[in-house]
């Protein structure tokens, strides 16, 4: 579904991704793990078209994504839930959903919101509440819900569990698993390595802008280097 080949990304003169390659198959649940500053967010933003790569190629369903503006990438079926959520705090839950539905036609928008509320009943209850009055967990739910409004084929999530209590993040992980089991392909970036490797099928390890390892999550969980570097065991 998604194929990235030999990607280089720079901020000005400073290169932060080096020769990064990765693939995600249809219906897969793939994770990218790595320390703070490794380049995880940069990679997702590059896929979403928010940053242009200086070299390499991004293919989605056989077509080149790099070079397309972000809204065209959304239309192709790729959605990014950004780090730190970036909600509109002074807009209601429903208005935030509308913001994520800018590619959806007017007569479809209500159905789309209903489809979303089935996954997030709490957002239906809170539909007229301002986003900033929601709890941290509910805000993350809303960020994901907004990203789902375009009905993506590939959903990319950038550290959704950041700042959430363990119980809430477990709930969130279950929800992501559910979305995956209902046919949405997932590319998840996380620092919560243990939880992530327990739900993703495959994972990549990004270190200082380079992919240093790739494998089945089960194997990575047993890997000595991973255990030392990321699980503190």
Ligand X SMILES: Nc1ncnc2c1ncn2[C@@H]1O[C@H](COP(=O)(O)OP(=O)(O)O)[C@@H](O)[C@H]1O
* Interface contacts to Mg ion, rule CB under 5 A: 40-41, 83
Dihedral sign, Cα of residue 110, residue 116, residue 118, residue 121: negative
37 binds, among Mg ion, ligand X, none (CB under 5 to 8 A by kind): ligand X
Nearest residue (CB) to ligand X, 38 versus 186: 38
SS3 content of the chain, % helix, strand, coil (to 5): 40, 25, 30
Which residues here bind ligand X, judged by CB under 6 A?
A: 11, 16, 34, 36-42
| Min CB(42)–Mg ion separation in Å | 8
Half-sphere exposure of 82 (CA within 13 A, CB side): 11
* Binding at 52: pick from ligand X, Mg ion, none (beta carbon under 5-8 Å per type): none
Determine the distance from the C-alpha atom of residue 33 to the mean position of all C-alpha atoms in its chain, rounded to a whole number: 12
Work out how close the CB of 53 gets to ligand X at its nearest, in angstroms, rounded to a whole number: 13
Report in angstroms how near the CB of residue 37 gets to ligand X at its nearest: 4
| Residue 23 Cβ vs ligand X, minimum distance, rounded to whole Å | 20
Q: Which is nearer to ligand X, 210 or 227 (CB)?
A: 210
DSSP, collapsed to helix, strand or coil, labels residue 48 as coil
Residue with tokens 């194997």: 219
Residue 150: name the closest of 180, 109, 119, 118 by CA: 109
Which C-beta is closer to ligand X: that of 39 or that of 147? 39
Nearest distance, CB of residue 64 and Mg ion, angstroms? 25
- What is the C-alpha to C-alpha distance for residues 63 and 40, in angstroms, rounded to an integer? 23
Smallest separation (angstroms) from Mg ion to the CB of 36? 7
The set of residues, in sequence order, having a beta carbon less than 8 Å from that of 51 and lying 6+ positions away, is: 9, 42, 45
Minimal CB distance residue for Mg ion: 41
Q: Considering beta carbons, is residue 41 or 196 the nearer one to ligand X?
A: 41
Q: Which does 36 bind (CB under 5 to 8 A by kind): ligand X, Mg ion, none?
A: ligand X
Termini Cα distance of the chain: 35
| Token digits of residue 35 | 């320390």
Residue nearer to Mg ion on the CB measure, 87 or 97 = 87
With respect to Mg ion, which residue has the nearer C-beta, 116 or 189?
A: 189
Q: Which of Mg ion, ligand X, none binds 219 (CB below 5-8 Å, type-dependent)?
A: none
Backbone phi and psi for residue 145, each to the nearest 5 degrees, phi listed first: -60, -40
């Amino acid at each position: 579904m998604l194929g990235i080949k030999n990607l280089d990304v720079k901020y000005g003169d400073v290169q932060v991704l080096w020769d990064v390659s990765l693939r995600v198959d249809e219906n897969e649940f793939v994770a990218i793990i790595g320390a703070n500053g490794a380049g995880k967010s940069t990679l997702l933003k590059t896929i979403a078209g928010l940053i242009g790569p200086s070299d390499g190629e991004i293919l989605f369903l056989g077509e080149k994504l790099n070079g397309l503006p972000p809204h065209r990438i959304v239309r192709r079926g790729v959605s990014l839930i950004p780090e730190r959520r970036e909600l509109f705090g002074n807009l209601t839950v429903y208005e935030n959903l509308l913001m994520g539905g800018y590619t959806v036609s007017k007569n479809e928008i209500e159905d789309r919101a209903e489809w979303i509320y089935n996954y997030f009943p709490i957002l239906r209850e809170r539909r007229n509440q301002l986003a900033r009055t929601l709890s941290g967990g509910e805000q993350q739910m809303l960020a994901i819900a907004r990203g789902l409004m375009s009905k993506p084929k590939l959903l990319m999530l950038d550290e959704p569990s950041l700042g959430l209590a363990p119980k809430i993040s477990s709930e969130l992980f279950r929800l992501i698993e559910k979305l995956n089991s209902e046919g949405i392909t997932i590319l998840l970036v996380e620092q919560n390595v243990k939880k992530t490797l327990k739900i993703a099928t495959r994972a990549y390890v990004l270190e200082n802008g380079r992919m240093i390892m790739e494998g089945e999550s089960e194997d990575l969980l047993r890997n000595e280097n991973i255990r030392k570097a990321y699980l503190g065991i």
